[in-house]
Amino acid sequence: NKDFAWFFKLTGDPEVVLKSDPEFRSIVKSVAFDGSGQPTWKLHEGWQQHITPNDITYGKLTNREAGLIATVTRLGIEEKSNSEERWREYIVGNVNRWRQQLSLDNQEWAQMSSELEEFPELSQGPAKAYFVSIAGKGSGAMSAPFMNRGAGVKAADVPSSQSVVAGGEGGPEAAEKGDTKGEEEANGRAGERAGERAGERAGERAESDAERRATLPITYTVPEGWSETAASGMRMAAFTIEEGESAGEVTVIAAGGGIEANIGIWLGQVGVEAGAESTQRILAAAEEIVVNGVTAKLYTIDGGVSPASEVSAEKSADAETGGEEIPAVATAQAILIVDIPWRGGQSLFVKYKGAQSLAQSQREAFIEFAKSIEWN
């Protein structure tokens, strides 16, 4: 819609997702956009929603009884994507991203087109809305077998593509931690045993992190003082940084789309009203750095003060899910973005979001981290 592509991604047990397929299709097909480009839809009984309109992760749809969670994500797209050829390239890039998450080989349009189901009532001109089903075994942050189902929706001038995924929200590690906690409470285990289990889990997580990094298409060097956290969804990597009461998060994702539309979203995330003047100012102030032999651009977005209540409730999730909560502090916020040209028309986005003071003190470390990224 307008300058954005919208993604709907459903996570849960594969069998439950299949049973909920008619409901989910109905929700997606009910999507409509108002004059400002904001979407609405009709939920079925048992579904609830939580909307965060200024985030790339626009909201979540949940069905607690069925154990299902759907995320609603938006990404900026370039105006030239509104042609049949470029839109197909955009669809191919996204479907292949999901295939990679399922340890499947990439496909060309001719191979995947027979698996794409068009939603004609949501298509507009050359930009078609598609629903695609992909089955495979998750890799990296998605390390449990699951089924990935995708759908496309668009309205107004530029379509929105949407995806649905069945699997555990936050990955198997999050589910394991929740199950362990409940088991310990139910059985009244002693603190010593809980400590032993925590140590075992920490070792398992370290081993899992090493295995996950070995499957990534990129390598990188983690700066001193950064803590690597579990990455899920579109995230290739995620880190937390803390200095005193200041905190921030760094994420790495691969995505397509125009930088200007994304800057508008990021401005909203730091409490600044997006507009042509503010966007152009950020674009003009961009710095060039070299990453893996290609020229990348660094953008700095300074914002206002976020109330503690807002910060504590916020999950700093870029694209699909998996963000860590930033501790509640009332502080000026900032975003640093490195846009690195990558593969198939996509970019690697390295993003810092958090305290403005931390953005300043960690700026050089952030740049060096971006420069350390390599791929074949």
Give me the residue spans of the domains in the chain. 4-165, 174-215, 227-372
For residue range 59-96, list pLDDT tens digits in order.
Answer: 889 998 888 888 888 776 665 556 788 888 888 887 88
- What share of the chain has pLDDT > 70, as a percent? 66
Question: How long a stretch of residues is the chain?
Answer: 376
Which one, of 265, 321, 365, lies nearest residue 10 by Cα? 321
23 contacts: CB under 8 Å, gap ≥ 6: 44, 47
- What share of the chain has pLDDT > 90, as a percent? 23
The rounded Cα 218 to chain-centroid distance in angstroms is 17
Model confidence at 108: pLDDT above 80? yes
Residue 259's pLDDT is: 84
Q: What is d(CA 267, CA 277) in angstroms, rounded to the nearest whole number?
A: 12
Binning pLDDT at 50, 70 and 90, where does residue 304 land?
low
Contact 98, 150 (CB under 8 A): yes
Binning pLDDT at 50, 70 and 90, where does residue 172 land?
very low
| CATH class of residue range 227-372 | mainly beta
